[in-house]
């Protein structure tokens, strides 16, 4: 019940973000392109892990933003509930400020995932904590970790006639150690994802996302188009 109550509060704050967006005097808009390839391994009935490579572009998909390697593990504690953890090693293209160039970043995350099928629709809820910092620097040298708690709710629907899976997500980001008027809720993202699984080949997916950031006086909007290929090895058979 605490999770449900917390998510309800988050929805109200998210609605407030939409309303207060009209108060911003300036906005910036961008288009990003994300792509990834993933190997997913189901080790046994409850345990799975994956490794993936990611490439992201910004400035209307003309400038490299970053690329990274990610590893994740998930474990089903009981029916409809999983916990997970992941790490990312990121090479980030910093092309602003006095010091520019490629910088190494490290991110880790912890997840709690709930899912439940209602008729033909699967309801999904994910709670995530993530922490990201630049490698090679300490906090005393100016490297302050960026921490977020993320609340994502979505729906998964199988379109049998087209052999497609459609997923719709809404997600709110709460940044720690901030003093803004929204209590740290300074980003939200909405995503529509379509994928199809091919026998003996893997799963191919595409998605579109819309994201807004309110961490500064200038509201930052971005549209994201993405492609993902994943292949699953089932070792539990």
For tokens 């391994």, what's the residue? 41
In sequence order, the β-bridge partners of residue 116 are: 123
- Return the pLDDT at 9: 55
Burial of 171: CB neighbours in 10 Å, binned 0-12, 13-18, 19+: buried
Q: Domain residues of the chain, as ranges?
A: 2-234
DSSP 8: H
Which letter does DSSP use for residue 84 in this model? E
Under the banding of pLDDT at 50, 70 and 90, the label for residue 117 is very high
Looking at residue 62, its pLDDT comes to 96
Residue given tokens 């699967």 in the structure block: 122
pLDDT at 22: 43
Give the span between the Cα atoms of 217 and 225, in whole angstroms.
Answer: 26
Q: Span 67-83, mean pLDDT? A: 97
CA 154 to chain centre: 12
Domain covering 2-234, topology: Porin (2.40.160)
Q: What SS3 class is residue 71? A: strand
Tokens standing for residue 211: 């994201």
Give dist(CA 163, CA 2) in Å, integer: 37
> What would the pLDDT profile of 138-186 be if each residue is shown by its tens digit?
777 777 899 999 999 999 999 999 999 999 999 999 999 776 767 789 9
Average pLDDT in the 80-90 region?
98
List, for residues 6-34, the tens digit of each pLDDT value. 545 554 555 455 444 444 456 789 999 99
3-class DSSP state of 140: helix
Give yes or no for a contact between 199 and 6, defined as CB atoms under 8 angstroms apart.
no
Lowest mean pLDDT, pick from 67-71, 109-113, 152-156, 173-177 = 173-177
């Amino acid at each position: 019940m605490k999770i449900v109550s917390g998510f309800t509060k988050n929805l109200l704050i998210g609605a407030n973000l939409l309303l207060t967006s009209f108060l911003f005097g300036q906005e910036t808009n961008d288009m990003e392109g994300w792509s990834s390839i993933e190997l997913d391994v189901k080790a046994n009935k409850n345990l799975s892990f994956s490794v993936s490579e990611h490439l992201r572009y910004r400035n209307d998909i003309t400038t490299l933003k970053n690329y990274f390697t990610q590893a994740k593990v998930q474990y089903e504690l009981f029916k409809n509930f999983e916990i997970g953890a992941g790490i990312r090693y990121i090479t980030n293209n910093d092309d602003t400020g006095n010091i520019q160039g490629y910088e190494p970043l490290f991110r880790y995350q912890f997840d709690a995932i709930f899912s439940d099928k209602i008729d033909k629709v699967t309801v999904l809820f994910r709670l995530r904590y993530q922490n990201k910092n630049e490698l090679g620097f300490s906090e005393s040298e100016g490297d302050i970790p960026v921490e977020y708690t993320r609340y994502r709710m979505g729906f998964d629907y199988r379109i049998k006639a087209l052999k497609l899976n459609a997923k719709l997500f809404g997600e709110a980001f709460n940044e720690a150690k901030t003093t803004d008027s929204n209590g740290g809720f300074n980003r939200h993202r909405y995503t529509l994802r379509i994928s199809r699984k091919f026998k003996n080949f893997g799963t191919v997916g595409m998605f579109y996302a819309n994201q807004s950031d309110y961490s500064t006086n200038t509201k930052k909007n971005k549209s994201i188009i993405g492609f993902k290929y994943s292949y699953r090895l089932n070792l539990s058979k």
